[in-house]
Every structure is written in C-alpha cells, then in structure tokens.
Structure 1
Amino acid sequence: MSESAARLLVIDDDPTFNRVLVKALSQRGFAAQGALDPEAALTMAEALAPEFVVLDLNLGGRSGLQLIRPLLEASPGVRILILTGYASIATAVDAVKLGAVQYLAKPADVDAILHALQASEVLPAGVLPAPAMPLSVDRLEWEHIQRVLAEHGGNISATARALQMHRRTLQRKLARPPWA
C-alpha cells in the first residue's frame, strides 16, 4: 500500500463484516482500518484523520448518527457514508443533515460503497434521490412510524400514543421491517 493511499475508517460492530469490508477496501487501494465501537472509532479517527468513513447506523444498540459530528471535528472534510440494515427516510434525512454525504442500505457490495464514497455530488440536506420503484403500503407505514419515532426521541410509548396504537403492536411492527 502506498503512502498516498486514501485513509478510510470502517465503523461497524459486526466483527466479521468489519474485517471483510476493511480487507476488500484495502485490496482496492485504501489504507483501511476498522473500529468495532464508538470509543475506539473516535480514538482511531483522531489518530488516523481519515478521508472517508463507512459508519454503521446501529452500533451495539447505540446510534451511529451520534458519531457524525465528532468524526467531522476529528477530521474536517471527511466523507461519511452511513451503511445500515435498518434504512428509513427519517434516518437518511437526519444523517445528511448532520453531515453524512451518502446513505446506503445493506446489503451493499464494495462497488456500491466505493461509488457512494467517491461520488462528486453530496446529497443536499433533506433531499434524497427518488426511489426507482414506488414504496409498498407496508414500507410507507414503516417510514411513517420511523419518522414519528424519531420525532419522539426513540420513545416507544410516546410514539405509540402519537400513532394511537397499542405499544405492543408498535413493538411488533418495529421488530419486523416490511422487507424482512
């Protein structure tokens, strides 16, 4: 690996996925390193000053969104890609507003990740590309629930009251996304 290789930090709490992605990105010419938790990620970001970050949205039950600002402070100009298995429009908008440049749903292959990281255009805050296919009714309901949940700071009981839904019904819906 050359001295001029772009520095990249992968932050994902799944050790196998983290290791495989770091290896794949290293083979593509990046100086890639991985962190499994927010604390290690921030320490590595300060030492590495990465140019790119691939950040999982869910880090052991904690939101990866909380790391965006500290990562930007540790390495101004870093391009942050949110990669998640729990994609929603609400979290995509929040991620972009906080400073992420791209947002991808898992599963995503290495080529899609590289394309998103190196895209010259950054999604403007609150603007997402139109989906190729219209969302299903189940997916629309999921998106609405995610938006209301975000408005209530992740509080299930408050969200259930706002949606006029029993809390257990809401928990069942949250446990089973429409694409599962």
Structure 2
Amino acid sequence: MQLKADSGKDPEVLAQQMWRVTELLDAMGMLTIRAVQRAREDVIRRQQQELFELSTSVVKLWDGILALPMIGTQDSEPTQYVMESLLKRIVETGSDIAIIDITGVPTVDTLIAQHLLKTVTAIRLVGAECIISGSRPQIAQTIVHFGIDLEGVATRSTLADALILGAKQLRLVVAIRG
C-alpha cells in the first residue's frame, strides 16, 4: 500500500519500486541462505574432526606399549594428524613399542602404505619400535603389489598377537589363559 501511495498513479514508478523491493528481498534471502549453509558446514566440519579424533585415539595398552587402532578410510591430512598424535604420545609416555592396528582400515592404497612407512620411520626416530597388526589377506596382497617394503617391521595378524610380541620385546612376563 505504501508503495502505491508513494508512486502516485504512475504504474511505471510503482513497477520500478516493486522491482527494487523484490531485489532487496532476494538479496536478504540469499544472505540468510548463505549464513545457514556456512553454519551447517561448520557443524559438519566440527563433527568430522571430533569423529576423526575419536576414531584415531592413541591407547596405552601397557606401560611402554601404545596402540593406534586405525578405523575407516584414511587420507593424507588425517594421517598426518595421526602420526603427530602418536609421536607426541610416545614421547610423553616414554613408550618403547607402538602398535599400529589397521584392522579397521577397509583398503590400503599407495598413499596410505607410504604414509605407514613414514610413520614407522618417525616412530623409530623418536626411539620406539613399531608393530603393525591387523593386516588382512587382501591388504597384505595390496601392499606387496605396490612393492612396499616392510622388511624389518614386525607384523602380526591380530592386535592381541602384537601386544604379546611387544610384551616379549620389553621382556614382560605375560600369562596367556585359554
């Protein structure tokens, strides 16, 4: 009503004013949509980070033995974070053995295999030994197919077997029931 009164009886002026109002409302709508979209993306990013941190936490299994159970598909940025977390915990705890358990990793590609080797090297550089556990037949075949050399790296098929090996390396007495 106000636009009609402001434009007088000139339909062209009324149409221009209506067009300006429409453009203003469209711009406000787009601004609102973008703000909601950014807020949702921030929530998703935060949830992904929290989920990632939960799925890659370093666990102290025994005095001197840490484990990193890896879960899900890995890519370069998170695996860098994982390596840093593991190395930090090795230094903080003075652990001599780090077990990387890949049971929960569905596939290994060349990037992940190379990162695994870099992590093993970094673990050794901070004065600990690494045991890789949880390699299933298809992952073992993939690693061999890519020509990744794990010579000198202890491997075990299960986390339990890796823990037993780690305990032996630390000369701990482990009683196994069963």
Which has the larger Rg? 2
Higher relative contact order (CA 8 A, sep 6+): 2
TM-score (norm 2): 0.37
- Pick the structure with more helix per residue: 2
TM-score (norm 1): 0.37
